[in-house]
A = this chain, B = another copy of it.
């Protein structure tokens, strides 16, 4: 079929402006979920001054590569990115997907060099936050220090969620969990929780979830047959959230 499901929030008439980088933390619509969260107006201004906004990345452009010198962490402003490591035998392992308001690059802190690569899944704008400045500010602003500790900690708990998923759950459960995760993250950004466009390919999904493309595809077909999801290539509509949760088999 040629028809697409209707535009899912970020597309459509907003397309011309979501990547705009003439914005500051104070007026950014993401400041309720991003780094500035928990900061006073004055403090936000200071944070804002160290942040560098550059022109958007095009699809499949790298934000940084494994081994690059670590200098900054990044907040996604628009679009989506994936982080991945290359294993010693040359294969890829996708370690995370990042949506607007989310921070990436923190795995580079430990060695002063990025432990993974980050690549745009679609046109994406990011805010670059030089880490040395962030450290300096953190020492002066307890709330910022605290918040950044929390962000890193959250990354740890999320990785542990994924570990559990990979270690204990079936293909059905893994895919269902990912769909729920994306749905929830959309909701946090005031977008539709039931209808969205996946920015990543089936290969990426499979790679992230430790499954082959074929298995992912079969799971989608099965879910469609069960009237849980409506799948049209990358457009997803969740028809039965309860059913999806049951399939994911998590208390989420």
Contact = CB atoms under 8 A, between A and B. Distances in A.
Contact of A154 (B110, B157, B163, B207): B110
A153 B151 CA distance: 11
Contacts of A162: 163
B157 A115 contact: yes
A217 interface: no
Q: Would you call the interface of chain A mostly helix, strand, loop, or mixed?
A: helix
A116 B164 CA distance: 12
A140 to B, nearest CB: 8
Nearest to A96: B160
A167 B84 CA distance: 13
Contacts of A249: 88-89
Interface of A: 85, 87-89, 91, 93, 95, 106-111, 115-116, 135, 138-140, 142, 145-146, 148-157, 159-160, 162-164, 166-168, 207-210, 249-251
